[in-house]
């Protein structure tokens, strides 16, 4: 019985440790990669052929400011969500198309943002987001 309890405890602990950072938006949970360095932010989701439906990438900037993202070398369409320093939704670029040319357009926020979230295209409509919606970060996993 002691070995069974030990095995069960290890299994539960392993499951807890395997859980990575995630966010919650409109009650839906998404596992995220965190792009907090300049290198990770510059690479973003470039060159990816696909992304699981419940995954995304969150970008964290040192201060709030006007943000603009582009889709150069990004192969999948995305929804780009801009959040202010209070984690309130400022604006969304929905169904942002991949860019395969050398000159790609920017997709700017409509106001200052500190956090940017990229999810698969269509998520904004699916979730029914609107300005002021709150992002919940769980990054210390």
State the CB neighbour count (10 A cutoff) for residue 93.
Answer: 22
Model pTM score: 0.84
Could you give the CA distance from residue 78 to residue 57 in angstroms, rounded to a whole number? 11
Query: Considering the domain 20-138 in this protein, what is its CATH number?
Result: 2.60.120.1140
pLDDT at residue 141 in the model: 57
Q: What is the 3-state secondary structure (H, E, C) of 69-106?
A: EECECCCCCEEEEEECCCCEEEEEEEEECCECCCCCCE
Mind listing the pLDDT tens digit for each residue in 125-140? 999 999 999 999 999 8
28-35 and 55-65 as β-strands: parallel, antiparallel, unpaired? Answer: parallel
């Amino acid at each position: 019985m002691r070995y069974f309890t030990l095995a069960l405890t290890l299994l539960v602990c392993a499951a807890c440790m395997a859980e990575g950072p995630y966010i919650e938006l409109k009650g839906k949970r998404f596992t995220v990669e965190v792009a907090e360095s300049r290198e990770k932010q510059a690479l973003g989701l470039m060159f990816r052929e696909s992304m699981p439906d419940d995954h995304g990438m969150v970008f964290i900037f040192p201060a709030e400011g006007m943000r603009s993202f582009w889709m150069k070398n990004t192969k999948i369409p995305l929804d780009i969500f801009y959040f202010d320093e209070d984690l309130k939704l400022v604006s969304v670029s929905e169904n942002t198309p991949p860019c395969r040319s050398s000159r790609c357009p920017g997709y700017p926020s409509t106001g200052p943002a500190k956090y940017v979230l990229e999810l698969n295209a269509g998520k904004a409509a699916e979730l029914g987001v609107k300005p002021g919606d709150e992002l919940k970060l769980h990054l210390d996993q």
